[in-house]
Structure 1
Amino acid sequence: MKTEIAEVFMNPVRQRIIQYLLVHKKGTVKEIKKELPDVPSASLYRHIKILNDSAFIIVVEENRIRGTVENVYSLNREALEVDDENGTVVQMSLLSLCAAFAKYFSSGHADPRKDLLMLTSCTLTLTDEEFIKFLTEMNEVATKYMSKPVTKTSVSRQITLVSSPVDL
């Protein structure tokens, strides 16, 4: 199950579908398509099917429209809860991130300045309660920007936040 989660979530389109459902709580393919206009419809349907077949998203409603049924999807939060004691999911996600950067830099079109590539790292010394507050605030800021509609000048950028303990 752990490997399956990593394999499903390593795809950027599926990450964007999950992101849409995180922000909007539920949505139809048509609604998701509005937010991901750069994804071909056939591809979007395929990725939604993969997420649904893997039980990471579920049908929560059905809208009957002129003899057809339009599914309304939501995240299956139970399927997203992972006990990853050996770190398999995290390690596979980090490897996927490394692969994405390797592909970017080997493309022949890499322009970190133009693409606003950024890497930053800092060490926070906080109580668990303070750290949870920090994460909550980060989530609020990210959610604010994730819910902005896609425009013709929008550029997709992936932000990854990784937290790990530091040996002092």
Structure 2
Amino acid sequence: MVKKKKFMAYLATVLLLVVSMIMTACGGPADTKKDAAQSGKQIEITDVTGQKVTLKKPAERVVVQLSASGGAFLTMAALQGKDVAKTIVGMDPYLSKLRTDMWDRYKADVPELEQIPLIGNVNDKTFDVEKVISLNPDVIFMPLYFKDQYESDYKPKIDAAGIPTIYIDYHAEKLENHQKSY
């Protein structure tokens, strides 16, 4: 019963975040993104670690981790709808392995999701750096939870390839981390 209550609280938080992101997406931020793309201005993002990441243009090719826990995948799916499969060029396999009910619903609406290359997972040391680099992403969304292992095992090669990493956090249950992660 306690697990069910925790899950329901987590689900309510995710839904609240999704609704707030959709509401926010209807206003200035989308216009700012379009303006930045048209003007050729670089985009500076400060992630949850305080790291400043500069993108030359809005990210069109993204790699995500920790898909079974929501985070970047759910946020992008909520904001992009059926176009999400055009943006995510690589992801870990755990949404399809651990959350089959959710995965089946998503792929029923967006069959192209099954074509997204699986790139392994940092946490279980199956993250395929060479495959990620070959996918030529504009950015990698990495959970803060994986930061230490990612930086010691994988980030040097990713940095050498010129691929920026943005750390996100939907798990610490801190409002400021959630706000910085979407």
Report the TM-score when normalising by structure 1: 0.29
Highest Rg: 1 or 2? 1
Q: Name the structure where helix makes up a greater proportion of residues.
A: 2
Question: With CA pairs under 8 Å and 6+ residues apart, which has the higher RCO, 1 or 2?
Answer: 1
Report the TM-score when normalising by structure 2: 0.27
